[in-house]
Amino acid sequence: MQPAPDEVAPALYAGSQLTSELEAPAESAYAGLALPVTHAETAGELAPEDREIAAAIEAEAGWMTEVLARLVDKPTLLGYEEAGQGVVREALLELGLEPVDVPMDPEALHAHPLASPFDWDVSGKSNVVATWEPGEADHGRSLILNGHVDVVSPEPRAQWARDPFTAHVEDGWLYGRGAADMKCGLAAILGAVKGLRAIGLSPHAKVYLQSVVEEECTGNGSLQTVLAGYTADAAVIAEPFGGAITTSQVGVLWFNVKIKGLPGHAAESGRAVNAIENSLKMIQSLRVLEAEMNAAPPPPYDLYPHPIGLNVGLIHGGDWPSTVPGECTIGYRIALYPGMQLRDLQDRIEAIVAEAAADDPAIFAHPPEVIYRGFACEGYELPQDHPLVATLSNAYARQHGVPPALVATTGTTDARVFGLAAGIPSVCFGPYAEQAHGVGERVYLPSVVQTAQVMGMFIRDWCGLS
């Protein structure tokens, strides 16, 4: 395989993680992170069974790229996931497994305490699960391999050099929205199982392959699979953390603040109250919360200069340049550390908004509203000495010659859903990719194969294979 171009930086997945000092100092972590794209000559450390597995999975490299390209070609934005799920069903059939739909059940989700709130229509949407049944031996540990098919908007599309929903391969990279986050991970888990099946192996316990919806906004797709009864002894989410294993992640809360003003003609500026301008003042008030939360981060987040991001992600307000806008809604995202209670954060946000309004009654004549819609989830951590981490690290180290970085991420993933809703130990591990949610999103294709190879060896070590 070709080494990655020199400009490839070790900061992965939009730089959203750091190494824990406890397990791996930054230097070796970054060496570990960089290795998946340099294809280190460590074959000598592979056991003979490893070599057989690695070769069988390498033989599926072309198929993995093809599946990934087929997935990227489907614009699986929120509400449009089904076309991508169709590709996943085809791929599962190609590797001889039966895809089963796990439809979203809005009533069950609304009633679940760990579901994120939603007000859009989820009926007709399905997660897809296939069960790789154990062979004669049935005494191993079961496993969920999970990825999400939904992607975020590629806007502004004009900044892309090419159509974001047409896969493009150049110099070993595959470009397109979702190439990184995280259709590459889906391709890797499908390719791993295809390679293992091609040489006649069966696991010693059930292995579930899952393609879920709504990871980017609620996590309710993975939650739906748990509600449908899919549990296991471990879950690995193939998010593109570039050869690092995530053991800690923050929670995320989405909230809208709706501010009312007093509409009027722009030429009579006297009495009208501008809701857009007052929304900007509210942003400043909420920045105080962000500063508070970043003042003394708990470990391992103290390794980050600014672990908690308050993102002003969307704005709806006004409709006419000559009208003072009477209403404005801003959508925010903020994170919370593992161990923090969601309700405490919501209380703090509501207090700040109420105080800001009380401080300036003339402009906030109507109390601002705080509305929760989308992510409302707490953080999740798995001890770094957990057998899942040790087993996956060991497979990685045999492949790459160095241990993987164990990382804490300042984003959230579906690993928390399995951990918090079902007590399933969960980590993320996936290919090397860049520009997730950005322009020119891309994955380094050799790292997809290497991820699949490590997954294959891990399946043998965790579940048993024969």
Instruction: Point out which residues bind Zn ion (CB under 5 A).
Output: 181-182, 239
Please return the burial class of 155, using the count of CB atoms within 10 Å of its CB with bins 0-12, 13-18 and 19+: exposed
- Specify the pairing of strand 235-237 against strand 426-428: parallel
Least Cβ distance, residue 240 to Zn ion (angstroms): 8
425 near 167, Cβ under 8 Å?
A: no
Report the residue number, 286 or 428, with the smaller CB distance to Zn ion.
428
> Do you find a cis peptide bond into 156, omega within 30 degrees of 0?
yes
- What are the φ and ψ backbone dihedral angles of 256, each rounded to 5 degrees? -105, 140
CA distances from 421 to 107, 112, 226 (A): 17, 10, 8
Report the residue number, 13 or 364, with the smaller CB distance to Zn ion.
13
How many angstroms separate the first and last alpha carbons of the chain?
Answer: 29
SS3 category, 427: strand
Report the residue number, 353 or 448, with the smaller CB distance to Zn ion.
448
Report the residue number, 148 or 258, with the smaller CB distance to Zn ion.
148
Report the residue number, 428 or 457, with the smaller CB distance to Zn ion.
428
Least Cβ distance, residue 267 to Zn ion (angstroms): 49
Q: Dihedral sign, CA of 226, 118, 187, 48?
A: negative
CA-derived radius of gyration, the chain = 23
Report the residue number, 352 or 436, with the smaller CB distance to Zn ion.
436
Least Cβ distance, residue 328 to Zn ion (angstroms): 30
Distance separating alpha carbons of residues 302 and 293, to the nearest angstrom: 11
Least Cβ distance, residue 239 to Zn ion (angstroms): 5
Report the residue number, 239 or 378, with the smaller CB distance to Zn ion.
239
Least Cβ distance, residue 148 to Zn ion (angstroms): 6
Q: Compute CA 264 distance to the chain's CA centroid, rounded to the nearest angstrom.
A: 44
Distance separating alpha carbons of residues 116 and 255, to the nearest angstrom: 11
* H helical segments located in 199-249: 220-227
Report the residue number, 182 or 420, with the smaller CB distance to Zn ion.
182
Least Cβ distance, residue 182 to Zn ion (angstroms): 4
Distance separating alpha carbons of residues 330 and 323, to the nearest angstrom: 19
Report the residue number, 81 or 239, with the smaller CB distance to Zn ion.
239
Least Cβ distance, residue 184 to Zn ion (angstroms): 10
Query: In sequence order, which residues have a C-beta less than 8 Å from that of residue 113 and are 6 or more positions away?
Result: none
Torsion, Cα of 252, 312, 435, 30 (10° steps): -60
